[in-house]
Amino acid sequence: MSTIESTSDDVAKPVAANGYKFEVDRLFDALVRLNGSDLHLKADQPPIIRVKGSLQPLKHPKIDDARMRQLCMPIMNERQRQVFMDDGGVDFAHTCVVDGVKWRFRVNLLTQQGSMGMVARRVNNKIPDFKGLYLPESIEKLCVLDQGMVLLAGVTGSGKSTTIGSMLNYINKNYRKHILTLEDPIEFVFTEDKCLINQREIGQDVRNFEIGMKHAVREDPDIILVGELRDVETFKTAIHAAETGHLVFGTIHAASAASCVGRILDLFPQEEHASIRSAIAFNMKGIVAQKLLRAEGAKAKQLGLSRVPVCEVMFIDVLIRKYVLEEQDHLIADHIKKSFRDGMQDFTMSLKSLIDQQLIDRNDAMEIAPNREALEMALKGIGVT
């Protein structure tokens, strides 16, 4: 990896020199100025930032474990320090002012091989709208629902939180509703427009997720953001909220929209699968699976884009509901492909659209395409009717 220059020559000097609240803020400053997305700190390595998807070390001395603790421990509060000591890691939000602008970062402090480390994701100050993200227009259909569950699927760093943020902000700009979020930590801070918005951070505003959801049903929300569905209790609570007339948004780690059903079932013992399938079939309204790809096309360069989302969109229609109930999950992917006129699309169709719009490079698209032959045929106009 080639090194890049930090814009702060005194990044390792005492904190008082530039008036930062915390010494580590100098590294957050460098991340912002270099337009990076993530900051990585590992013992016995220089700071590393991710720029346009690639990891690049800063020209900065290596940071040993003692120095790492000097940098990272002060930005935690007492509760976070206790969680870190008990669990070996902790998630929280951190703010830093750069040139008079307040920036937020989603921070994970971790322990690896006995040493402390950090990974921090820069959160956009402004919540982009659909056009700014180049998301499929059909996703707007999921924002006008009155109740049910909507999931955003993808790996870590695939842009799920940004997409949900844009969807909630769309609702905020167009409808008079009460949005309640339960987040760990809070990422996007919304500015109220037409909606009343309450954002609760786990550990800071409420002790845990279970208590937060218990309170939620008494707080008259129209829309609830539950964050990541990572365990049985979270999913059961979220699906119950959907069943009782709320619109629930959540995220899940899954590779595709079709695989989400299996990913949810994996959380539960076999004897509960039939009831969970029924809950999914009758309460899930849509799933958007997402990946991020470097924006390398001519139009992308003109617009100054760094990355764009590749999206698979699935709406729960009559046939999808039938497949879920009858354990025919293997038929879901083909139905998505055949239902593009109804607003659904698979990753192949998304990649073709982005190539046609000159937003991504054809070779990059081929590298992540689930089916390269299908993408090649689609680009030739074969296979789409």
Which pLDDT tens digit goes with each residue over 41-77?
A: 999 999 999 997 889 999 999 999 999 999 999 999 9
Contact residues for 208 (Cβ-Cβ < 8 A; gap 6+) = 202
CA-atom Rg of the chain in angstroms: 22
Reported as a single tens digit per residue, the pLDDT across 222-261 is 999 998 888 898 899 899 999 999 999 999 999 999 999 9
Retrieve residue 77's tokens. Answer: 């509060």
- CA–CA dist 64, 45 (Å, integer): 8
What are the phi and psi torsion angles at 350 (to 5°)?
-65, -45
Ordered structural domains, the chain, with CATH:
15-123 (3.30.450.90), 130-379 (3.40.50.300)
CB atoms within 10 A of CB 270: 7
Check if the beta carbon of residue 292 is closer than 8 Å to that of residue 162: no
DSSP state of 206: B
Beta strands (DSSP E) in the chain are: 38-41, 48-51, 54-57, 89-98, 101-112, 115-123, 148-153, 178-183, 196-201, 223-228, 247-252, 284-294, 307-315
- CA–CA dist 317, 332 (Å, integer): 11
The DSSP result for 365-380, as a single string, is HHHH-S-HHHHHHHHT
First-residue to last-residue Cα distance in the chain: 46
DSSP state of 63: B
Averaged in consecutive runs of 10 residues, what is the pLDDT profile of the chain (385 residues)? 53 45 94 94 96 90 95 94 94 90 93 96 84 89 96 91 94 96 89 96 87 89 92 90 95 94 95 97 97 87 87 97 97 95 95 94 94 93 64
Query: What pLDDT does residue 383 have?
Result: 64
Classify residue 279 as exposed, middle or buried by CB count within 10 Å of its CB (0-12, 13-18, 19+): buried
> What is the arrangement of strands in the sheet containing 284-294, beginning at the earlier edge strand?
196-201, 178-183, 223-228, 247-252, 148-153, 284-294, 307-315
Contact residues for 93 (Cβ-Cβ < 8 A; gap 6+) = 104, 105, 106, 107, 123, 185, 186, 187, 201
Check if the beta carbon of residue 283 is closer than 8 Å to that of residue 324: no
Retrieve residue 35's tokens. Answer: 């337009």
- CA–CA dist 141, 65 (Å, integer): 49
CB atoms within 10 A of CB 269: 9
Contact residues for 83 (Cβ-Cβ < 8 A; gap 6+) = 90, 203
Check if the beta carbon of residue 354 is closer than 8 Å to that of residue 375: no
What are the phi and psi torsion angles at 315 (to 5°)?
-100, 145
> Alpha carbon of 291 to those of 107, 140, 337, 376: distances in Å?
21, 19, 18, 19
The DSSP result for 243-280, as a single string, is HTT-EEEEEE--SSTTTHHHHHHTTS-GGGHHHHHHHH
